[in-house]
Each structure stands twice: as structure tokens, then as C-alpha cells.
Amino acid sequence: MTQAMRTLVTGGVKSGKSRHALELAADFAAPRRFLATAVAFDDEMREKIARHRAERADRFDTVEEPLELHERMAERMILDCVPLWLNNVFYYGKEAEFEERLALLVAGLPRDIVIVTNEVGMGFVPADPTSRRYGNLLGIANARLAAAADRVILMVAGIPLRVK
């Protein structure tokens, strides 16, 4: 049995974050849970969700929740992913509730969890105000989650680098 740990896995698009999260969570005792934030808005997203479900197969019980993450959290869980959750906050018109929702998320983190997020602000400053707000809020969420985490891993080209 491994020591309980809150882990934040971050990095760029297609850097191996979700794959690494699955590897880390393989050490969790059953039942293992997977809290998915994605919403199937189009065919591409439906295919991606189906592919990811198949990858997890019978190793994880999947819970789908686009907004109320704090209500669905449990021990031995992967939360994938924070950027899609923030996208849902914007999409459903809940941006004014961001601070409250983030506080509930951080306060409700179980002892054994792997959280997947993205680093979106490492390249350029977006031209439009909505994208800048999104990037700023994701940066705030990442910083608070990293502060609450026992371990932070940055994925670079499929290689995990321990930051904390």
C-alpha cells in the first residue's frame, strides 16, 4: 500500500498528462474512480470520451460531472481535467462563481487524488479578452491546486518532471 498523496499533473497539450495520471492511480486500492469533466458538445468530443472510457476499461468507475466537482469527489480518484471544468464554468455562465467553486474544490480534495490540468499560459497572450480571462483563471486554479498538492508533476514531451 502506498502513502496517500494529492498529486497535480500539469503540462501542455498531448504531453502525456492523462496517461501518467492513469499510471499513478494504478497504485490506488479498488475501487478507483475517475471524475471526468468533459461534455460531449460535438462528434469529435464524443469520440474522444468514448476512447478514453475504453482506455480505462474496468480499472476505474467513471463519474461524469461538468461543474459540481466538490460534490462528486472521493478517495482514490483521478480528476481529469481542470481546464475542461473551467471551460464548463464559462459555458454555463458561472464565471462569477469561479472563486467559490475553486475554494470548494480545493477544500474538498481527498487524500488520494491525481488531478490533471494544463499549462496554457506558457506561450503567448491571447488577443481576445475572454481567452485572457480564461488563461488567468486557469493559472489561479493551477496555483491553488499546486499549493494544496503534496506532489506536482510537469509533463514535457511525455516525460514526467517532479516540480514539488
Q: Domain of 155: which CATH number?
A: 3.40.50.300
Under DSSP, is residue 27 helix (H, G, I), strand (E, B) or coil? coil
pLDDT of residue 1: 45
In a domain, 1, yes or no: no
In a domain, 44, yes or no: yes
Residues belonging to the chain: 164
Number of domains in the chain: 1
- Residue 34: which H helix or E strand, with range? strand 33-36
Between CA 108 and CA 9 the distance in angstroms is 18
Query: Which tens digits make up the pLDDT trace of 25-84?
Result: 998 999 999 999 988 889 998 898 888 888 887 889 999 999 999 999 999 999 999 999
For the ranges 11-20, 86-95, 123-132, the lowest mean pLDDT is seen at 123-132
* pTM exceeds 0.75 for this model: yes
pLDDT of residue 52: 83
Query: Which tens digits make up the pLDDT trace of 111-154?
Result: 999 999 999 877 778 889 999 999 999 999 999 999 999 999 99
| DSSP code string of 88-141 | HHHHTT-GGGHHHHHHHHHHT--SSEEEE----SSS---SSHHHHHHHHHHHHH
| CB of 86 closer than 8 Å to CB of 141 | yes
- Which residues span the domain enclosing 149? 6-162
Spot the catalytic one: 24, 27, 52, 151.
52
Q: Is 70 a catalytic residue?
A: no
